[in-house]
Amino acid sequence: MTRPPRRPLFSVVTPVYNPPVDVLAEMIASVREQEFADWELILVDDNSPNPQVRIVLRNAARRDRRITVIERPENGRIVVTSNDGLAAATGEFVVLVDHDDLLTPDALQVMADAIAADPTADYLYSDEDKLDAEGEFYDEFRKPDWSPERLRAHMYTGHLSVLRASLVEQVGGFRAGYDGSQDHDLVLRVTELARSVVHVPEILYHWRVIPGSAAGDVDAKPYAWEAGRRAVADHLDRVGIAGTAEFGSHPGYYRVVRTHDPSTTVSVVIPTRGSDGLVWGRRRVYVLDAVRSVVESGGVDRVEIVVVHDLPTPQSVLDELAEIAGDRLVLVPFSGPFNFSAKCNLGFLASTGDVVVMLNDDVEAISANWLADLVAPLAEPGVGLTGAHLLFTDSTVQHAGLIALKDHYEHVFMGGPDDYLGYFGALLVNRECSGLTAACVALRREVYEEVGGFCEELPGSFNDVDFSFKIRSRGYRLVWLSEVRLFHFESRTRDKTVQPWEHEFVIHRWETPDVDPYLPAFTR
């Protein structure tokens, strides 16, 4: 009895259309020179006008029986051509490689090892860099671990992408009408169903920059931006997220605008002692302007405002709070020495909302409907905590998420200009992060109860780090929201002194990785 031929582990699928022939030959060589030999290469020529292209392809197929060449009789564009490649593929996993790019020699071996380590992996992606015309590598992209919120904002997983073939078939392969963003659309559909998504933190792919390529010019394919927006909108519909997909501020980036459920009740907890100070040359009582931001620009009707006030808070401040907030105000007196965690927990116990927002008293809203936008992502299962984009009074970055590495925690991009894009657009997009400052965070009531609130053994510092880690330890995602913007006057109302023992407390309580999982390019 003749056994059927064994399926290769990897089918490298490459649509081809009129690349420089030397570049095409180098791409093919980068596959043939793989340390891991269990692969096939499917090259689909989309009727390239240059006859030399087909000569290169035919010669490659003659030299290596693992190479299959399909020659299309007419041009069908990238989606049709890629689907022809998928139809011919026989491997357990599909590997997507463009006709002008290069794999590192160990790319497939590293991916095979990752699959062996996690047999449930249905989608794997690696880090990448770019290759210029002089043969120099640059622009390394050290990618975050699996970050579904970020994938909605841009196709960050990119290259090298490896997808389980049976799942690609299940979702229907590439879809017509999404040319230019066909990979983004496919990966969104595959990851919706994937058992496991694996980030391989090694550069396995060199993205070549040549004239007219997307690698070198984000405006090279304007139709791709619209296709990507539609792909994200379709994804929102499929997974049941109420909202719209809009163009981001830069090509290739998108903004998900969620719809706040008006039936959701929100409690905003604000600890205060009624302090005042100078901001932009004007004296203010901080808590009054914070409450005004909730009432006037929060965008939430069903809101209660729980103000936890130290006993020395002036009565005039409490009276004015009542004038601003009306019957939405709940006043909770606090006695005893300063303890931010205890004040937050006391405010939570006095609150009744489905969602609870912890808000410093020294903030002022910039964006309209900021409160509605802050709490809306919590309707998605798996999102445990959301946080805001906070700016100093000079409009430089104060908070864009916390990074955690080597027993160290810091506000990433702190002090950067407001128009700074961040590392590969990290300041443009909503994204998962390791931690969020308690100056402005939101979570569902049951999550607060599940983790036991803030640790009262941490009265001043690192209580929000500990709180973030507790929520992440329960399997929830923490999401920083780029478009929820507030000024934060940075602890103007309390002593900013960090006690070393508080740092030690958190270090001993939580193991910190050597690299931050969501911004691994940042090191100490």
**pLDDT string in tens for the chain (524-residue length):** 444 555 689 999 999 999 999 999 999 999 999 999 999 999 999 999 999 999 999 999 999 999 999 999 999 999 999 999 999 999 999 999 999 999 999 999 999 999 999 999 999 999 999 999 888 999 999 999 999 999 999 999 999 999 999 999 999 999 999 999 999 999 999 999 999 999 999 999 999 997 655 555 555 578 899 999 999 999 999 999 999 999 999 999 999 999 999 999 999 999 999 999 999 999 999 999 999 999 999 999 999 999 999 999 999 999 999 999 999 999 999 998 999 999 999 999 999 999 999 999 999 999 999 999 999 999 999 999 999 999 999 999 999 999 998 888 999 999 999 999 999 999 999 999 999 999 999 999 999 999 999 999 999 899 999 999 999 999 999 999 999 999 999 754 455 667 888 889 998 999 888 999 999 998 65
Is the same domain home to 361 and 454? yes
Q: What share of the chain is helix, strand, coil (3-state, %, to 5)?
A: 30, 30, 40
Last residue of a domain, one of 208, 242, 276: 242
Q: Which domain holds residue 303?
A: 266-509
- What pLDDT is recorded for position 494? 52
What phi, psi does 12 have (nearest 5°)? -85, 120
Is 501 inside a domain boundary? Answer: yes
Is the same domain home to 295 and 338? yes
Q: Tell me if the pTM is above 0.75.
A: yes
Helix 286-297 vs helix 315-325: crossing angle, to nearest 10 = 10
Q: What is d(CA 388, CA 374) in angstroms, rounded to the nearest whole number?
A: 7
Helix residue spans in 474-512 (DSSP H): 500-509
| Burial of residue 166 (number of CB atoms within 10 Å: 0-12, 13-18, 19+) | exposed
Is 457 inside a domain boundary? Answer: yes
Q: Please, which residues have CB within 8 angstroms of residue 347's CB and are 6 or more apart in sequence?
A: 269, 270, 271, 306, 307, 308, 332, 358
Is the same domain home to 235 and 274? no
Is the same domain home to 237 and 270? no
| Sign (positive or negative) of CA dihedral 173, 177, 182, 186 | negative
Here the CATH number for the domain that contains residue 115 is 3.90.550.10
Instruction: Provide the number of structural domains found in the chain.
Output: 2
Is the same domain home to 29 and 165? yes
Is 519 inside a domain boundary? Answer: no
Is 308 inside a domain boundary? Answer: yes
Q: What is d(CA 367, CA 418) in angstroms, rounded to the nearest whole number?
A: 14
| Burial of residue 495 (number of CB atoms within 10 Å: 0-12, 13-18, 19+) | exposed
Last residue of a domain, one of 242, 257, 288: 242
Is 247 inside a domain boundary? Answer: no
Where residue 339 falls (left for φ over 0; alpha for ψ -120 to 50; beta otherwise) is beta
Last residue of a domain, one of 174, 207, 242: 242
Q: By the 8 A CB rule, do 34 and 4 touch?
A: no
Q: What is d(CA 321, CA 287) in angstroms, rounded to the nearest whole number?
A: 8
- What pLDDT is recorded for position 154? 95
Is 2 inside a domain boundary? Answer: no
Is the same domain home to 390 and 315? yes
Is the same domain home to 349 and 441? yes
Is the same domain home to 197 and 323? no
